[in-house]
């Protein structure tokens, strides 16, 4: 166990935000979860008692008849905002006094940094380079992330859960988003920061980052396993493999979307184009962890689909 | 008035009395001093209520008292505060609901603008000079190190808070009708925030920035159709001298032109674009009926009921 190495990574000033994320994300997830649970209990209670539902205040926050539903922005909101500004300022000043922003040697094109890392918030995409070609990891995925995020309001046909925390009423939406945010984004950043060392090799936490370390691993492509050697054969085989993947993943998503009475109701509200968009984004998202797994030992499969123009 | 008995009612220029002798003059002088004391006291008292002064009234235009009307006007008639509505949902002020993340993100943007402008006074976006400027800033400029650190850490913090803000908006379902479009505006802001941070990374012109930008733009080189290494790029006669990477860097390598381009994107273009989108974002928060909640919970059993007619938000 190389504690020194571990400390060096964790205490690098530019890695402080990632260490902060390690606490902030779980904290806020917990905060949200707590409120969602309170609301879900209330919802269950009201669903069971329609009479109460007609008269209830319908919020987990306390309320008494006679209390105004609205309050003055000044002072009640603005004092909170000023307080937040002061707290953020104090944190920022203390942070800036105690930790210096890094400055390396002057830029030198002849001296390659090893590892050469993108800024931490893009490490998820850089980590994707291990599993996908650069045009996928660096261009297609970012585009899909942006378009996919923008599509969310237009493909989520579930009218429930607008303006309050809940899990039970939006299980699938929240599940998909949290999978993307926690697993595909935050975890990849952690891996890119803490695990990836020189030459982007995998070093477990506490393992010394040895730049001379060599890993001999023979990567194979999926067609190789089936003994397919000709280019045309690989192309056709890969196309079939991808089609098979999307069929199976699509069927799985469809099963999820129509599993319960409530799910079916939401699915019925979708137009065909909404349904297909959901399918496209979710099946593509699922492709990432699958490639992640088959790329690592013992499978070590690099490409599924090989063509003269691109590989996936 | 402190001294009603003085000759001129305590106002105006003092007129020396008629008569002779030092005694009369001394009496007059004493009276004047009394008079002046009274005025000083009186005006001193009035300073305890600055909102009654002409200066204050000329600036703020509203009565400063505890009535709801004055408080509402205080918000609505102020150019900076009038982004807010006069009144809000009683539960919306709870940190627990919004986490204050949108507001904190905006505040960090303001901090970054301020510290960024100050940094610009000490920085030349030219090869060789840029690095020296950072060294100088950290060693010789008063508070230069603090300035640079604050800019750096506020930028990192802003990336985190914008993610958390998006997370909160998602979890509260706040992108649902009628806020779909504002969510999209938000996504644009997210991308702009990341790009702001990324373009700033190159500016110290050190190894860290140089290689990060090299990694980043190599990805751009692989863009399908538009990148020299991307799928179908070669077939379209795309070379390292006419692809997207060239457009981003102003050259085929990360060099002086890239530094200048990053500088202009970072200090001028993206901040302006982001400001415009933030303006739209805040405006839409208001027009969409203020923030979404905490709203009364809906029930699955309500879903089957006919949809009530749309109530346009009251503004
Ligand atoms: C520079 C970045 C951003 C700034 C300064 C900003 C600022 C704000 C502020 C001050 C609010 C008021 C409520 C609150 O504080 O939570 C708000 C609401 C909102 N933001 Fe943002 N935001 C940013 C980015 C985003 C992003 C990335 C998204 C989503 C992808 C987003 C979506 C929304 C939506 C939908 C609302 C309305 C929320 C509601 O009604 O509860 N914003 N934003």
Scored b (16 or more CB within 10 A) or e, B278-306 reads bebbbebbebbbbbbbbbebbbbeeeeee
> Per the CB < 8 Å rule, is B90 touching A67?
yes
Q: Which residues fall within 8 angstroms of residue A32, CB to CB, at 6 or more apart? A: A165, B167, B168, B171
Report the distance separating Cα A304 and Cα A228, nearest Å. Answer: 12
Task: For ligand 1, say whether the CB of B161 is within 6 Å of any of its atoms.
Answer: no
Contact A137, A125 (CB under 8 A): yes
Q: How confident is the model at residue B11 (pLDDT cuts 50, 70, 90)?
A: low
- Asked if the model's pLDDT at residue B177 lies above 90, the reply is no
Which residue has the least CA distance to atom 17 on ligand 1?
B102
What local confidence, expressed as pLDDT, does residue B1 receive?
40
DSSP A209-234: --TT-------B-HHHHTT--SHHHH
Beta bridge partners, B87, equal A72
Q: How confident is the model at residue B2 (pLDDT cuts 50, 70, 90)?
A: very low
> Per the CB < 8 Å rule, is B153 touching A80?
no
**Residue B59 or residue A267, greater confidence:** A267
B-contacting residues in A 137-176 (Cβ below 8 Å): 137-140, 146, 149-150, 152-154, 156, 159-166, 169-170, 174
- pLDDT mean across residues, chain B: 87
What local confidence, expressed as pLDDT, does residue B244 receive?
86
CA distances A77 to A35, B103, B279, Å, are 21, 11, 20
Residue B294, preceding bond cis, omega within 30 degrees?
Answer: yes
What local confidence, expressed as pLDDT, does residue A7 receive?
86
Q: Which two tokens stand for residue B130?
A: 């840029």
Report the distance separating Cα B81 and Cα B74, nearest Å. Answer: 8
> Per the CB < 8 Å rule, is A67 touching B183?
no
Report the distance separating Cα A228 and Cα A222, nearest Å. Answer: 9
What local confidence, expressed as pLDDT, does residue B4 receive?
46
**Positions of chain A with pLDDT under 70:** none
Task: For ligand 1, say whether the CB of B182 is within 6 Å of any of its atoms.
Answer: yes
What local confidence, expressed as pLDDT, does residue A93 receive?
96
Q: Given CB atoms, is B281 within the 8 Å cutoff of chain A? A: no
- Asked if the model's pLDDT at residue B110 lies above 90, the reply is yes
Site to probe by mutation for ligand 1, drawn from B106, B165, B278, B290 as the one with most ligand atoms within 8 Å of Cβ, is B165
Rounded to 5 degrees, what are φ and ψ at A159? -80, -15
Quick check: helix, strand or coil at residue B141? coil
Q: Which residues fall within 8 angstroms of residue A178, CB to CB, at 6 or more apart? A: A29
ipTM: 0.94
User: What are the residue ranges spanned by the domains of chain B?
Assistant: 24-57, 95-292
What local confidence, expressed as pLDDT, does residue B17 receive?
61
Half-sphere exposure of B216 (CA within 13 A, CB side): 25
Report the distance separating Cα B93 and Cα B112, nearest Å. Answer: 25
Q: How far is the CA of B165 from the centre of ligand 1 (A)?
A: 6
What local confidence, expressed as pLDDT, does residue B49 receive?
82
Residue from A58, A60, A96, A126 whose CB has the most chain B CBs within 10 Å, to mutate: A96
Quick check: helix, strand or coil at residue B65? coil
Q: What is the pLDDT of residues A235-259, one digit of tens each?
A: 899 899 999 999 999 999 999 999 9
Q: Given CB atoms, is B136 within the 8 Å cutoff of chain A? A: no
Dmax (CA) for chain B in angstroms is 112
What local confidence, expressed as pLDDT, does residue A152 receive?
96
Residue given tokens 């603005």 in the structure block: A78
Closest to B93 (Cα-Cα) out of A31, A69, A30: A69
Contacts of B262 in chain A (CB under 8 A): none
Report the distance separating Cα A299 and Cα A290, nearest Å. Answer: 11
Closest to B218 (Cα-Cα) out of A307, A125, A106, A120: A125
Tell whether domain B95-292 is in CATH 3.30.460.80.
no
Q: What is the pLDDT of residues B90-99, one digit of tens each?
A: 888 888 999 9
Which residue has the least CA distance to atom 42 on ligand 1?
B186
pLDDT, average across residues B13-42 = 83
Task: For ligand 1, say whether the CB of B98 is within 6 Å of any of its atoms.
Answer: yes
Beta bridge partners, A80, equal none
Q: How far is the CA of B100 from the centre of ligand 1 (A)?
A: 10
> Per the CB < 8 Å rule, is B220 touching A170?
no
Q: How confident is the model at residue B315 (pLDDT cuts 50, 70, 90)?
A: very low
Q: What is the pLDDT of residues B131-153, one digit of tens each?
A: 999 999 999 999 999 999 999 99
- Asked if the model's pLDDT at residue B9 lies above 60, the reply is no
Q: What is the pLDDT of residues B223-273, one digit of tens each?
A: 888 888 888 877 888 888 888 888 888 888 888 999 999 999 999 999 999
% of chain B beyond a pLDDT of 70: 90
A-contacting residues in B 214-253 (Cβ below 8 Å): 214-216, 218-224, 227, 229-232, 253
Report the distance separating Cα A114 and Cα B207, nearest Å. Answer: 11
């Amino acid at each position: 166990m190389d504690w020194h190495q571990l400390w060096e990574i964790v205490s690098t000033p530019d890695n402080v935000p990632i260490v902060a994320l390690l606490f902030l994300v779980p904290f806020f997830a917990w905060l949200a979860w707590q409120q969602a649970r309170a609301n879900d209990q209330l919802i269950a209670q009201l669903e069971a008692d329609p009479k109460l539902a007609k008269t209830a205040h319908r919020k987990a926050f306390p309320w008494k008849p006679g209390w105004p539903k609205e309050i003055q922005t000044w002072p009640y909101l603005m004092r909170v905002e000023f307080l937040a500004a002061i707290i953020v300022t104090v944190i920022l000043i203390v942070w800036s006094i105690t930790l210096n922003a890094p400055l390396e040697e002057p830029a030198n094109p002849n001296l390659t940094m090893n590892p050469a890392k993108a800024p931490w918030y893009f490490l998820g995409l850089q980590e994707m380079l291990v599993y996908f070609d650069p045009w996928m990891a660096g261009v297609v995925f970012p585009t899909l992330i942006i378009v996919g995020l923008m599509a969310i309001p237009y493909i989520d046909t579930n009218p429930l859960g607008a303006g309050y925390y809940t899990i039970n009423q939006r299980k699938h939406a929240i599940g998909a988003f949290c999978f993307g945010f926690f697993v595909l984004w935050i975890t990849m950043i952690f891996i890119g920061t803490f695990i990836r060392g020189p030459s982007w090799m995998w070093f477990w936490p506490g393992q010394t980052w040895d730049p001379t370390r060599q890993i001999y691993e023979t990567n194979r492509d999926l067609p190789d396993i089936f003994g397919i050697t000709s280019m045309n054969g690989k192309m056709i085989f890969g196309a079939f493999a991808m089609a098979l993947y999307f069929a199976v993943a699509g069927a799985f998503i469809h099963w999820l979307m129509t599993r319960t009475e409530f799910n079916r109701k939401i699915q019925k509200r979708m137009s065909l184009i909404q349904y297909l968009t959901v399918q496209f984004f979710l099946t593509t998202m699922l492709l990432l962890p699958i490639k992640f797994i088959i790329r690592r030992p013992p499978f070590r499969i690099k490409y599924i689909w090989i063509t003269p123009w691109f590989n996936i | 008035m402190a001294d009603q008995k003085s000759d001129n009612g305590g106002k105006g220029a003092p007129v020396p009395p008629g008569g002779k002798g030092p005694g009369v003059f001394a009496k007059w002088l004493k009276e004047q001093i009394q008079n002046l004391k009274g005025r000083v006291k009186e005006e001193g008292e009035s300073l305890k209520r600055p909102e009654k002064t002409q200066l204050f009234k000329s600036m703020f235009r509203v009565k400063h008292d505890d009535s709801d009307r004055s408080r509402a006007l205080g918000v609505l008639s102020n150019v900076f505060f009038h982004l807010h509505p006069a009144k809000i949902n009683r539960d919306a002020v709870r940190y627990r609901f919004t986490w204050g993340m949108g507001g904190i993100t905006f505040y960090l943007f303001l901090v970054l603008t301020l510290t960024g402008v100050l940094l610009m006074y000490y920085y030349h976006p030219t090869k060789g000079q840029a690095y020296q400027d950072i060294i100088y800033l950290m060693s010789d400029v008063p508070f230069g190190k603090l300035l640079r650190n604050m800019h750096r850490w506020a930028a990192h913090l802003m990336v985190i808070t914008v993610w958390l803000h998006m997370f909160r908006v998602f979890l509260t379902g706040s992108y649902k009708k009628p806020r779909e479009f504002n969510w999209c505006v938000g996504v644009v802001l997210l991308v702009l925030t990341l790009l702001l941070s990324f373009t700033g990374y190159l500016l110290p012109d050190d190894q860290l920035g140089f290689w990060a930008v090299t990694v980043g733009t190599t990805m751009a080189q692989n863009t399908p159709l538009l990148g020299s290494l991307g799928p179908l790029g070669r077939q379209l006669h795309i070379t390292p001298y006419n692809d997207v990477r060239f457009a981003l860097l102003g050259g085929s390598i990360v060099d002086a032109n890239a530094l200048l381009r990053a500088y202009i994107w970072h200090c001028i273009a993206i901040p302006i674009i982001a400001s415009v989108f933030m303006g739209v974002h805040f405006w839409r928060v208001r027009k969409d009926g203020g923030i979404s909640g905490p709203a009364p919970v809906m029930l699955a059993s309500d879903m089957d009921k006919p949809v009530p007619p749309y109530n346009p938000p009251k503004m």
